[in-house]
Amino acid sequence: MNKRKTLWRCREKEEGTERNRRGEIMKNRLFSIGLTSIIISLALTRVCLAEQDQLGQITFLSGDAQVKGAKETVWRKAELNMPVFFGDNIRTREDGKVTITFVDGSLLKIHSNTHIALNTIVSPVEKKSSVLLFFGRMWNKVSRKVLKMKAVEIQTPTAVLGVRGTEFETGAYEDGTMIVRVDSGGVTVDNEIDRSTLSSNEGTQLSLVTRKIKTEPDFRPEWERIEKTSRESLFADGERYGGHVNKEIYRRRDHLKGLVDKAKKLSEERERFLSLAEEAKERGDEIGYESSMAKTKKINKEIGDLNKRIAFYGRRLECHFGLFSHYGYLAKHPEYSKQFRGKEFILKQLDNIEMIYAEFNAMIEEGMKMSMEDMEDLMDEMKEKVRKFRRKREKKDPFDEMDEDF
């Protein structure tokens, strides 16, 4: 925001300082519109500044592993000491293993046959770190420092993990089977129907249709056997599992669209109250100005809350996209496809899923345009412009006390 303030001051100096009251108010309005455009370009989900920050680097690598950046379409071969960034996708094949050491000291060990993404969708108003596990297995060690500063979650197609402890392992397999084992600390498992918190040495096993989450003490899962069984189940009835994921994609798409439409309506309503506030200021209507600004502040809070929900459900939907895309890979594979019963259903639905994914990206960008924090910064800058105008006039303005409340 400081850079934008500097740019504005330079522009103001060039235009001159002789402005009457009406001209200054109109300038504030134009400033608001211009700054809004800048915020939109910065707050788009996949083009935000956070993506430029290095999250960590690959500190162990063996076998076949690949990385694809948030704005990239081609996978690159992973390399030792390669940096990883916001939005990166990482996948391993049959013999691949990767360890990522984050700048905060946390560790992420990615096993073979795994595909993850780092923080692909996070609202500008969220203090959260999110990893999407589309399928496969990984082990996490989260530093306590991170847990004190922000929330950490792991998203899978089956459930969401809220991290409260430091060490845990997660498997999300091809038929929707999910396994969680906590080594130390606590992890909350939420499948949007039930929620349970696992403590040290506890774990649980879920499926795509699980309703009740059952906590098992001294949980010792047979990771490799369950992974093998999961693939056998998928290959035996691809239409069943693919149909379930396909249905979830459409359901979540519709829900997300409803949230985005609501955010757009709130943004339009906010603009209306901002205009009313400026009109009230122009005619000296203190009560009208105060009322419109209060409603604007309330809408900003609602938009901020919606931003968080859009980001959360966007991550849920992206997990299902990732899993169905993997089904497509298996259905097209020259060897795996021979064993894949129901692959015809998967291949038939792939084009539709890709179209929905394109629609999804557009929806996310539309729904994440503005955040509550950005709007608070915007209001602060607008207030500063008004204060500067008053100082030039060198007389008391009846709106001084009101502005202190916004």
For residue 28, give the 3-state DSSP assignment: helix
> If pLDDT is split at 50, 70 and 90, which confidence band does 392 have?
low
Predicted pLDDT of residue 166? 83
Comparing 367 with 349, the larger pLDDT belongs to: 349
Q: Is residue 15's pLDDT more than 60?
A: no
Contact 241, 176 (CB under 8 A): yes
Predicted pLDDT of residue 391? 58
Predicted pLDDT of residue 98? 97
Predicted pLDDT of residue 21? 44
Q: What is the pLDDT of residues 124-145, one digit of tens each?
A: 777 888 999 999 999 999 887 7
Comparing 145 with 50, the larger pLDDT belongs to: 145
Predicted pLDDT of residue 337? 95
Residue 173 CA to residue 221 CA, distance in Å, equals 13
Q: What is the mean pLDDT of the chain?
A: 81
CATH 2.60.120.1440 corresponds to the domain 51-232:
yes
Comparing 114 with 151, the larger pLDDT belongs to: 114
Closest alpha carbon to 315 in 120, 80, 89: 120
Contact 67, 80 (CB under 8 A): no
Q: Is residue 14's pLDDT more than 50?
A: no
Q: Where are the domains of the chain?
A: 1-43+237-406, 51-232
Phi, psi dihedral angles at 279 (to 5 degrees): -65, -40
Predicted pLDDT of residue 363? 77
Predicted pLDDT of residue 388? 56
Q: Is residue 211's pLDDT more than 80?
A: yes
Distance of CA 78 to the CA centre of its chain: 24
Task: Give the H/E segment covering residue 121.
Answer: none
Q: What is the pLDDT of residues 274-310, one digit of tens each?
A: 999 999 999 999 999 999 999 999 998 898 898 889 9
Predicted pLDDT of residue 151? 83
Predicted pLDDT of residue 158? 96
Alpha-carbon dihedral 162, 164, 169, 170, rounded to 10 degrees: -10
Contact 48, 124 (CB under 8 A): yes
> If pLDDT is split at 50, 70 and 90, which confidence band does 104 have?
confident
At position 96, the amino acid (one-letter code) is G
Bridge partners, residue 116, by sequence: 90, 133
Contact 57, 85 (CB under 8 A): no
Structure tokens at 199: 């403590």
Q: What is the pLDDT of residues 174-190, one digit of tens each?
A: 999 999 999 999 999 99
Comparing 95 with 396, the larger pLDDT belongs to: 95
What percent of the chain clears pLDDT 70, i.e. is strictly above it?
Answer: 77
Predicted pLDDT of residue 383? 58
Predicted pLDDT of residue 222? 95
> If pLDDT is split at 50, 70 and 90, which confidence band does 384 have?
low
Q: What is the pLDDT of residues 65-80, one digit of tens each?
A: 999 998 888 999 999 9
Task: Give the H/E segment covering residue 371.
Answer: none
End-to-end CA distance of the chain: 18
Q: Is residue 17's pLDDT more than 70?
A: no
Residue 95 CA to residue 24 CA, distance in Å, equals 66
**DSSP label at residue 169:** E
Q: Is residue 162's pLDDT more than 60?
A: yes
Q: Is residue 373's pLDDT more than 80?
A: no
Predicted pLDDT of residue 7? 35
Length of the chain (residues): 406
Q: Is residue 37's pLDDT more than 90?
A: no
Q: Is residue 271's pLDDT more than 60?
A: yes
